[in-house]
Structure 1
Amino acid sequence: MLFSILYNLCFQLSAATMWSLFAVDMKYALEEHEQHRLCKSSAYMNLHFKVKWLYTNYVKDVPPYKGSVPEYPSWFEPFVMQWLNENDDVSLEYLHGAFNRDKKDGFQKSSEHALFSNSVVDVFTQLTQCFDVVSKLECPDPEIWKRYMKRFAKTIVKVLIAYADIVKKEFPEHLKEERIACILMNNIQQLRVQLEKMFESMGGDRLEQDAANILNELQQTLNGSLDELAHQFACSLEPRITASVKELSDLLSAIKGGGHTIGAAQPPGAVAAEADEVLRPLMDLLDGSLSLYAQSCEKTVLKRLLKELWKIVMRILEKTVVLPPMTDKTMMFKSLTDNAKNLAANTKIEDMSRLFKNHMTGKQDVKNALSGVMDISKDFEKNLSPKQCAVLEVALDTIKQYFHAGGNGLKKAFLDKSPELQSLRYALSLYTQTTDTLIKTFVTTQINEDSIDGQEGSVGEVSIQVDLFTHPGTGEHKVTVKVVAANDLKWNVPSGMFRPFVEVNLIGPNLSDKKRKHATKSKSNNWSPKYNETFHFMIGNEEQLDCYELHICVKDYCFAREDRLVGVAVMQLKDIVEKGSCACWLSLGKRIQMDETGWTILRILSQRTNDEVAKEFVKLKSDIRQENPLA
């Protein structure tokens, strides 16, 4: 027993002494090698493993080293970092080789049940081998180990970002080969899955924070790359979706009945049957495509595709069916000849063909004018009747259920809250609103009507004074408008008289039984006329003054002919409600400016040919100054 104790003491003393001497020599030798790098990094790594073996087997439990952090990992840290740096190039080269082999083989699945290809497996095999080498060092210094993990995390980032970049570069070439496109998207998703496993192997929640942040950012980058590919793939299907939606639109437009009655009730069974028939072209396309994607895509990839397809379908339905683009949404009568324009600008839309027939004499002008009218009428024919709106509402619910797929597809919350569906439903809701509601919406949403087109410039200005009064008892409003003068009117008259006058229109809801228009007397051949005329408008108490505006036109009076527009300005009462009055000069433009909502409302109201308020509103807002007035 005593002999055994003495032997162990001698052994420990000898081991400690030998390690102490060995450590001094090794440390100085490695410091010299750090300066000159006399060997390959693999040689230093092999030496590292041998030193680790020596320390672990003979020194680790010997006083005074027992329980302490050894020094040797710090000797080898520069060389391990060198090896990790070199491994970047090795891994990237391996990546390119693996992807090229994969591409040559047609991106075959890595196994019978896998939905991704071999290159993903090969890339992570290489990264795992690298990690295994570093792990087997069993670095006992936690700070140095953290630095190794941070450096290795950067290697992972380089390799996986490079793979994602290659896929994104190659992806457009394979959009028509849907099987391959799905596999490439699955590959990016599999990178994310394998990255999560690698993260856990490196320590998971215990991983050094800097390294964890690097990998988390990489995960988000790959997530963005997958979104980008899914969006790109879905967009490649847009022409096919557009074609099927156009068929849907044709079927919908063929549905008759319902007239223009707002809120007309429709039999539920009949509407559902018509909705199914209308949806047939779109559903035929989606059934075939989504069945293929369900079989070919990872679940996460499929859901991303569904989201992108949902957005595209909703957007195309809105732009093709609910809000089809007009022939020219900046100038309704652009396609007419100059002579026809002058007549068309100041006439009622529904009576335009009659006006042309009565006033046009040149055959070519008539032909061109009627061609323009036909284009405009086609635009208005694209508007939906209440019955067609009801059918489309049912069709939207069916499409939503299809994308939800009984819980296997997109969540109902996502579908209901998606901006695309909300935008479509809002546009659709406009068709079933009353004229007063639509005019109120127009006034409250069109905040830049009086902005002057930079290319067209101002055509003059008009001075007005507005005073607002609200009866304290009844809540009814009174708007007093004094037209003071006009100034610097730009209007060329080839021959005849120029007789400018100012027309003031009150626009807003609940005015059908109220006086809505006043006009000053005309002034002969005066380009800066003074008027000093006062008008009064009465408004009920149903709405606030914020819902009203003054539409002010300067026109050239023409005997036995429509008066010609010189310029137009708009003053919204909400801008002066707080002050209660306003005196100002308003710049005159050639036409008012409208956004998509404004054009939609104008087009919907243009259908209501039996509604005097709607016809008057459409005429005012579509009126455009013509540059070559007839003599």
Structure 2
Amino acid sequence: MWQLFAQDMKYALEVLHKVDHCHWNNEHEKHRLCKTADYMNLHFKVKWLYNEYVKELPVFTDVVPEYPAWFLQFVLAWLAENEEVSMEFMHGALERDKREGFQPTSEHALFSSSVVDIFTQLNQSFEIIKKLDCPDPAVVAHYNRRFAKTITKVLLQYCALLAKSYPSYCEKEKIPCVLMNNIQQMRVLLEKMFESMGAKQAMSNHGGEDDMSEESKSGCSDSEGSELDTEAADILNDLQVKLNTVLDNFSAIFAKSFQARITTCMRQMAEILYQIKGPPNRNTAEADADNMLRPLMEFLDGNLSIFADTCEKTVLKRILKDLWKTVLSSLERTIVLPQSNDSLGAQLLTAAKGLSSLKGGGEAKTLTPKQCVIIDAGLEAIKIYFHAGGNGLKKAFVEKSPELASLRYALSLYSQSTDALIKTFVTTQHSQVHDGMGIRITGNEKIRPDRGSGIEKPIGEAILQFDMMFGKERKVGVRVIAVNDMKWQTSGMFRPFVEVSMVGPFLADKKRKFTTKSKNNSWTAKFNEAFQFALGKESPDCYELQVTVKDYCFGRADRVVGVAVVQLRDVADRKSCVCWCPLGPRIQTDETGLTVMRILSQRPADEVAKEFFKLKSETRPVEEGR
């Protein structure tokens, strides 16, 4: 009887599916033969019939019944309709929550009602699927994949809607915390739903104890041995990662909203710091640091007490991480190495003027050794504050923070002499003019490219001859032979000349710059002028020659046509050689080079530092490029 019934039922459902499928794809058809709910009800009746009268028959023992496959397309259609219902419910829940001001659901809960309402509805939908009690794992896998996509769509749309309005809430004390708690609670509830869908193990953690956001990499743990289909598990794993990213972004936006107030605190700290004079004294450094940090600590105490009461533990740690990064970056930008977000030249000009404006006018002055010691002690105090005896950030996160490493490196360079800093610059900056076409060097050996000192689109080419005279007195002869194919537009006369500067330590008492005569309206100019530089006591690897081609302008500053750099390490082993040097528009530096330049820009009374800063910050005018 069951086999005859199954034959008729399977045939009837196939016909109905074809007819209804045709109607579903016809935009003008408003009424289908049956609603998806009718098919679901029929599915339940067939399940009851099979379980009640057929399941225990010997012929069906250990056989996967085929009836779930008959209804698969109808259940998937019901899930598709349910997705639309879930999306509408999510929008309604969010709007209600907005009107109520995102109030926590109870005195013990830190999240608001919308996230609870959304998961209540999703769980109710999934309960219907669970009640089908489908005995076919392949069919269950289809259900789970489709429902996992619904979960993803609903939760990510909820996040997207929150993200649009989130910045407008950042000025309020508690709402941003509640919204971040909502995202975290979604991750917790998603883990529980993951388990209810058949996973033996849920994800390893949901951010409760991590200080490095590792859960964003791991998501849900290995689902081997799980009843949940691998594809569905992958969808939910990916969703956990995306929710974690949303939480990170919200935290970063929230921390950024405090930037202006933290900068104000830093300026107040700078005023206190600059009043502290005298020689370094480590015995008083801690007390001086506490005094300097007072404006910042008052600000942090007032806000973190609110966050501690309002935020889930994992959310609080995210906020602490982002505030830590903001505080240390602001300390470096505002006090140690004043800078801006503009171009390199603008940053360096800002650096040169930054301390001056902080000090209320006058020349910018470098931090004293005592002030550096106080800042170092202040860093230790900030670390202890954010660690909070183990209740805050982990020591490993703090110590490995790139912001802390950058600040410590800047302070370590700060106390070095100008010669030591210039040596650091020359020995670390190997690609000051774009990588690409290299400098060509000819001599006793075959032509070879320089290590990364070329440019992809040169705006000219300088030809130089080097003669090494490393006897009792170490000297370098430089002959400027010519500059070819200069790319330069001007409405007046073009009068190019070449400036060659030796850069390196211990050159304060030596001639560091020579200039050729200018040529009239020559875009390929022959100079053939020779100069001689004496080196300092360091090895040739610590020196470089910068070539700057300029257009002579009477009555105003000469304009840069292009620059090139030849590092003596690449030519020192030759008695004599000729270099073809492609010209670039400006010098390029990495973080180390930029740090050295900012420090030297704050030494206006040091002629060598001032000259180095000017040399490395000169740039070809943008309007002259073509």
* Structure 1 SS opposite 2:534: strand
CA distance in 2, matches of 1:414, 1:190: 24
Deviation at 1:178, TM superposition (A): 2.2
* Structure 1 SS opposite 2:58: coil
* Structure 1 SS opposite 2:270: helix
Residue number in structure 1 paired with 2:450: none
Deviation at 1:301, TM superposition (A): 0.9
CA distance in 2, matches of 1:71, 1:522: 95
Residue number in structure 2 paired with 1:173: 168
Residue number in structure 1 paired with 2:329: 315
Residue number in structure 1 paired with 2:364: 381
Residue number in structure 1 paired with 2:532: 535
Deviation at 1:432, TM superposition (A): 0.7
Alignment pair present for 1:213 and 2:234: yes
Deviation at 1:575, TM superposition (A): 3.9
CA distance in 1, matches of 2:232, 2:126: 14
Alignment pair present for 1:64 and 2:59: yes
Deviations 1:19-66 (A, max 9, x none): 222222222222222223422111211121111111112111113112
Question: Which residue of the other structure, out of 267, 287, 296, is the alignment partner of 1:282?
Answer: 296
One-letter code aligned to 2:164: K
Residue number in structure 1 paired with 2:215: none
CA distance in 2, matches of 1:554, 1:39: 83
Deviation at 1:328, TM superposition (A): 9.3
One-letter code aligned to 1:276: D
Q: Does 1 or 2 have the higher relative contact order (CA < 8 Å, sep 6+)? A: 1
Deviation at 1:225, TM superposition (A): 0.9
Deviation at 1:86, TM superposition (A): 0.9
CA distance in 2, matches of 1:328, 1:623: 12
Question: Which residue of the other structure, out of 46, 53, 65, is the alignment partner of 2:41?
Answer: 46
Could you tell which deviates more after superposition, 212-221 or 548-557? 548-557
Deviations 1:67-106 (A, max 9, x none): 2111211121121111111110111111111111122222
Report 1:419-498 matches (<5 A): 419-447=402-430, 463-468=463-468, 479-484=476-481
The answer (yes or no) to whether the contact 1:468–1:479 under 8 Å persists in 2 is yes
The answer (yes or no) to whether the contact 2:345–2:617 under 8 Å persists in 1 is no
One-letter code aligned to 1:506: M
The answer (yes or no) to whether the contact 1:332–1:622 under 8 Å persists in 2 is no
CA distance in 2, matches of 1:159, 1:624: 52
One-letter code aligned to 1:464: L
Change (3 A) 1:216 1:444: same
Superposed CA RMSD:
4.2
* Structure 2 SS opposite 1:221: helix
Alignment pair present for 1:407 and 2:377: no
Could you tell which deviates more after superposition, 578-587 or 281-290? 578-587
CA distance in 1, matches of 2:360, 2:466: 38
The answer (yes or no) to whether the contact 1:310–1:403 under 8 Å persists in 2 is yes
Change (3 A) 1:74 1:441: same
Deviation at 1:238, TM superposition (A): 1.2
Deviation at 1:131, TM superposition (A): 1.2
CA distance in 1, matches of 2:141, 2:276: 70
One-letter code aligned to 1:31: E
Deviations 1:310-356 (A, max 9, x none): 11111111111111138996279999xxxxxxxxxxxxx9xxxxxxx
Report 1:213-612 matches (<5 A): 213-258=234-279, 266-325=280-339, 330=345, 381=364, 383-447=366-430, 463-468=463-468, 479-484=476-481, 504-511=500-507, 515-517=510-512, 530-531=527-528, 533=530, 535=532, 537-538=534-535, 540=537, 542-543=538-539, 545-552=540-547, 570-577=565-572, 581-584=576-579, 598=593, 600-602=595-597, 604-605=599-600
CA distance in 1, matches of 2:387, 2:232: 39
Residue number in structure 2 paired with 1:30: 13
* Structure 2 SS opposite 1:533: strand
Structure (1 or 2) with the greater helix fraction: 1
CA distance in 2, matches of 1:332, 1:233: 26
Deviations 1:542-576 (A, max 9, x none): 54x3321124568999xxx9998988754222343
* Structure 2 SS opposite 1:433: coil
Deviation at 1:481, TM superposition (A): 2.8
Question: Which residue of the other structure, out of 77, 80, 84, is the alignment partner of 1:85?
Answer: 80
TM-score, reference length from structure 2: 0.76
Deviation at 1:200, TM superposition (A): 0.8
TM-score, reference length from structure 1: 0.76
Change (3 A) 1:491 1:535: farther
The answer (yes or no) to whether the contact 1:505–1:516 under 8 Å persists in 2 is no
* Structure 2 SS opposite 1:465: strand
One-letter code aligned to 1:418: S
Question: Which residue of the other structure, out of 136, 145, 148, is the alignment partner of 1:153?
Answer: 148
CA distance in 2, matches of 1:174, 1:464: 62
Deviation at 1:256, TM superposition (A): 2.0
* Structure 2 SS opposite 1:90: helix
Residue number in structure 2 paired with 1:357: none
Deviation at 1:136, TM superposition (A): 1.1
Deviations 1:265-297 (A, max 9, x none): x22231111111110111111111111111111
CA distance in 2, matches of 1:404, 1:136: 49
The answer (yes or no) to whether the contact 1:564–1:625 under 8 Å persists in 2 is no
CA distance in 2, matches of 1:208, 1:229: 32
The answer (yes or no) to whether the contact 1:555–1:563 under 8 Å persists in 2 is no
Residue number in structure 2 paired with 1:115: 110
CA distance in 2, matches of 1:196, 1:511: 66
Number of residue pairs matched by the alignment: 551
CA distance in 2, matches of 1:241, 1:334: 23
* Structure 2 SS opposite 1:120: helix
> Identity of aligned pairs, percent?
53
Deviation at 1:602, TM superposition (A): 4.5
Residue number in structure 2 paired with 1:199: 194
Deviation at 1:374, TM superposition (A): 9.7
Alignment pair present for 1:138 and 2:138: no
Deviation at 1:507, TM superposition (A): 2.2
Question: Which residue of the other structure, out of 149, 159, 178, is the alignment partner of 1:183?
Answer: 178
* Structure 2 SS opposite 1:393: helix
One-letter code aligned to 2:378: A
* Structure 1 SS opposite 2:465: strand
Deviation at 1:617, TM superposition (A): 4.3
Change (3 A) 1:422 1:88: same
Change (3 A) 1:139 1:280: same
The answer (yes or no) to whether the contact 2:365–2:602 under 8 Å persists in 1 is no
